[in-house]
Amino acid sequence: MEVALYRPEIPPNTGNIARLCVNAGVPLSIVGEPAFDLSEKAVRRAGLDYWKDLDFYQFPSFEEFQRTKQDQGKRIFLVSKFGKKTYWDVSFSSQDVFLFGRETSGLPEEIHKGHPSDQIISIPMAETSRSINLSNAVAIILYEALRQEKTRTNP
């Protein structure tokens, strides 16, 4: 399993997600340019002492990310409020990648349009809700996928 963030905007969210990925033993990818500096110096200055343990990848574009993951035989799930399926209606596998959008604008419409609708999933929220914090959304999806994998491999 893998987590990917599309052009993240808020450094503490990305830091929390990176820590989550280290602790879950899954890679983290950044797709496109983040809105902040991810250089070694910036990461060290931010006190992210676990960053050295992170299996980290960066892709300049969604197209390159998608091509690479498809070549690896991976299934990409978009996590979006526009998903018609909720995450608990999907059977995940160890080859799945979860792509999360920007904190303020989500994933671009062109990414949604070119993606299979059964691989666009949502997290249910109250009708009056705006959104769930990005790092919380990643935790919800990732740990459900890990729970499913553990259930399949350890009856």
Confidence of residue 155 (pLDDT cuts 50, 70, 90): low
Q: Determine, yes or no, domain membership for 154.
A: no
Instruction: Give the structural domain span for 104.
Output: 2-149
Span of 4-8, 89-93, 103-107, 150-154 with lowest mean pLDDT: 150-154
Is 43 annotated as ligand-binding? no
Q: Which of 40-49, 118-127, 144-153 has the highest mean pLDDT?
A: 118-127
Q: What is the DSSP string of 103-120?
A: TTTBS-HHHHHTS-GGGE
Pair of tokens at residue 15: 């830091």
In the predicted model, what is the mean pLDDT of residues 106-131? Answer: 91
Q: Determine, yes or no, domain membership for 88.
A: yes
Segment 1-31, tens digit of pLDDT: 999 999 999 888 899 999 999 999 999 999 9
- CATH number for the domain spanning 72: value is 3.40.1280.10
Q: Determine, yes or no, domain membership for 16.
A: yes
Is 79 annotated as ligand-binding? yes
Q: Determine, yes or no, domain membership for 89.
A: yes
Q: Determine, yes or no, domain membership for 44.
A: yes
Residue 35 reports pLDDT greater than 60:
yes
HSE of 63 in the Cβ direction (CA atoms, 13 Å)? Answer: 1
Three-point CA angle 64, 91, 150, nearest 5° = 100
Domain count, the chain: 1
Q: Determine, yes or no, domain membership for 118.
A: yes
Segment 50-83, tens digit of pLDDT: 888 999 999 999 999 999 999 999 999 999 988 8
What is the pLDDT at residue 21?
Answer: 95
Indicate whether this model's pTM tops 0.75: yes
